[in-house]
Amino acid sequence: MKNLLEFILIHLVEHPEDVTIEERENGDTTEFIIHVHAEDMGRVIGKGGSVIHAIRNISRIRAVKEGIRARVIVEDQEPAQVQSSETVSDET
């Protein structure tokens, strides 16, 4: 399954060297977390989510064939920046 997703994504994006797929077990479901270059995010998602929807449909078919439950998730390549909610007060 991971190889299929890599094949599709590498031929879809402008920065194939930045495509990584992380595989995680979550109960009885295998999650495939896709990371792509920020500039390629729009290509992977597509207009109205059409491309990622098609990728998920293909992966669902492959999962049935392999006898597993699979879920495809798209995440940003860059880790999310955590903003602190602390405020510094200057007491004088």
Q: Please state whether the predicted TM-score (pTM) of the whole model is above 0.85.
A: no
Q: What is the pLDDT of residues 33-51, one digit of tens each?
A: 999 999 999 999 999 999 9
Q: Would you say residue 83 lies in a domain?
A: no
Say if 66 falls within a structural domain.
yes
Asked if residue 51 belongs to a domain, the reply is yes
pLDDT digits over 14-33, tens only? 999 999 999 999 999 999 99
Q: 81 lies in a domain?
A: no
Structural domain boundaries, residue 38 = 2-76
12: CATH: 3.30.300.20
Would 87 be classed as within a structural domain? no
Count Cβ neighbours within 10 Å for each residue of 10-31 and write b for 16 or more, e otherwise: eebbeeeeebebeeeeeeeebe
Q: How many domains does the chain have?
A: 1
CB 42 within 8 A of CB 15: no
Report if residue 29 sits inside a domain. Answer: yes
